[in-house]
């Protein structure tokens, strides 16, 4: 049986996308590269549902989370942060390392934050709100649309970690007033790991101009300056092969249609969870916060289930993080995912239990 990645990144990469990395190298200061990068930038805007520029960096998603803090704020700035799990905690840790004062809303694992909690904690002195969209450690989704609508016209920068959702769950950067969206190549965008993408609003660029935190390689204003050249470029040598591969993945999303992609994720997630519940298993996440890209299943013997899936069925899933270590398996169903993969995973779990 072929290896199947049912993980929240890296995810299965389609043959078409893999093949792009096998092409002859092109030079990053040529019109050939600029043409590729121009097309890629347009496709990024399409999946981010924005007219803002989307910056590309050769890094993991965490690099872009760090860059969004370092570029948009200054030491001593006070922000509000929402954590509903491990990735929310990481974002808070980054903000603190850069000397920000962080007021935290901590929600019990498995739940989403409510708009009420945001309203009750947000103050005039908060320069920004940072929040995880899809909390990969718990399988819960925060209501970023409702929060964005509430924040409209407020003097605050709205920053969303959408690493495990963008390209799998509907996110409308412009319509929902999001100032900065961070994602990465290896999750719902079904590309190899190694690229991060950051959508940056005009308002966010204004914050960048007054930021006093040191940065060089990850400088948003500089990356944007090169992106806006008549022949778009990057300040430093880009990961040409990865960009070419990701461009093909975005072309596939375009061909399928964004709404069809979101619908496919929803149908497969619903199907998977229905079957899991039918087996008498417990979903870790609150019923009203369920993610379409990942399912967290509680198990007493989670490590055993995870190991058997790998050894006996060649299916890779993720284990629990932090306090949930050894107590859950997390099944990613994002990006290049179809019914057959869902059935194979369901059947394997059923046989094991």
Ligand X SMILES: *Cc1c(COP(=O)(O)O)cnc(C)c1O
Which residues of this chain interact with ligand X, rule CB under 6 A?
Answer: 8-9, 60-62, 87, 132, 134, 136, 161, 163-164, 184
Least spacing, CB of residue 27 vs ligand X, in Å: 27
Cβ contacts of residue 249 below 8 Å, gap of 6+? 13, 14, 17, 185, 189, 190, 191
How are beta strands 157-161 and 180-184 bridged, if at all? parallel
How are beta strands 294-298 and 282-283 bridged, if at all? antiparallel
CB-wise, 53 or 164, nearer to ligand X?
Answer: 164
Least spacing, CB of residue 135 vs ligand X, in Å: 6
Least spacing, CB of residue 242 vs ligand X, in Å: 13
- The candidate with the shortest Cα–Cα distance to 110, out of 328, 342, 345, 333, is 328
CB-wise, 250 or 348, nearer to ligand X?
Answer: 250
The closest residue (CB) to ligand X is 61
CB-wise, 61 or 110, nearer to ligand X?
Answer: 61
Phi-psi region of 283 (alpha: psi -120 to 50; beta: other; left: phi over 0): beta
Least spacing, CB of residue 230 vs ligand X, in Å: 32
Least spacing, CB of residue 8 vs ligand X, in Å: 6
CB-wise, 41 or 164, nearer to ligand X?
Answer: 164
Phi, psi dihedrals of residue 105, rounded to the nearest 5°: -105, 110
SS3 content of the chain, % helix, strand, coil (to 5): 40, 20, 40
CB-wise, 104 or 275, nearer to ligand X?
Answer: 104
Asked if 224 contacts 205 with a C-beta cutoff of 8 angstroms, the reply is: yes
Q: Measure the CA–CA gap between 212 and 114, rounded to whole angstroms.
A: 33
CB-wise, 173 or 348, nearer to ligand X?
Answer: 173
- Tokens 């270590």 map to which residue? 325
Least spacing, CB of residue 136 vs ligand X, in Å: 3
């Amino acid at each position: 049986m072929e290896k199947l990645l049912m993980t929240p990144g890296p995810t299965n990469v389609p043959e078409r996308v893999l093949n792009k990395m096998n092409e002859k190298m092109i030079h990053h200061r040529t019109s050939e590269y600029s043409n590729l990068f121009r097309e890629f930038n347009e496709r990024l805007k399409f999946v981010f549902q924005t007219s803002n520029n989307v910056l590309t960096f050769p890094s993991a998603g965490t690099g872009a989370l760090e860059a969004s803090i370092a570029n948009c704020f200054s030491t001593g700035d006070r922000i509000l942060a929402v954590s509903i799990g491990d990735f929310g905690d990481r974002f808070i840790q980054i903000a603190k390392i850069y000397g920000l004062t962080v007021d935290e809303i901590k929600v019990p694992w498995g739940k989403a934050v409510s708009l009420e909690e945001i309203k009750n904690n947000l103050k005039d002195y908060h320069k920004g709100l940072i929040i995880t969209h899809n909390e990969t450690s718990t399988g819960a989704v925060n209501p970023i649309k409702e929060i964005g609508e509430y924040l409209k016209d407020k003097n605050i920068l709205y920053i969303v970690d959408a690493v495990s959702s963008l390209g799998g769950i509907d996110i409308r950067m412009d319509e929902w007033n999001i100032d900065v969206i961070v994602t990465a190549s290896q999750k719902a965008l079904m590309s190899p790991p190694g690229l991060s993408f950051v959508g940056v609003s005009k308002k966010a660029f204004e914050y960048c101009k007054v930021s006093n935190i040191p940065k060089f390689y990850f400088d948003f204003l500089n990356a944007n300056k090169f992106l806006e050249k008549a022949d778009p470029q990057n300040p430093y040598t880009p990961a040409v092969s990865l960009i070419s591969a990701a461009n093909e993945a975005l072309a596939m999303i375009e061909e399928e249609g964004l709404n069809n992609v979101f619908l496919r994720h929803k149908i497969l997630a619903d199907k998977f969870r229905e079957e899991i519940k039918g087996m008498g298993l417990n979903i870790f996440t609150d019923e009203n916060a369920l993610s379409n890209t990942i399912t967290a299943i509680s198990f007493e013997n989670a490590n055993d289930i995870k190991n058997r899936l790998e050894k006996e069925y060649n299916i890779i899933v993720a284990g629990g993080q932090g306090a949930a270590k050894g107590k859950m398996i997390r099944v990613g169903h994002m990006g290049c995912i179809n019914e057959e993969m869902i059935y194979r995973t369901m059947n394997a779990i059923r046989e094991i239990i």
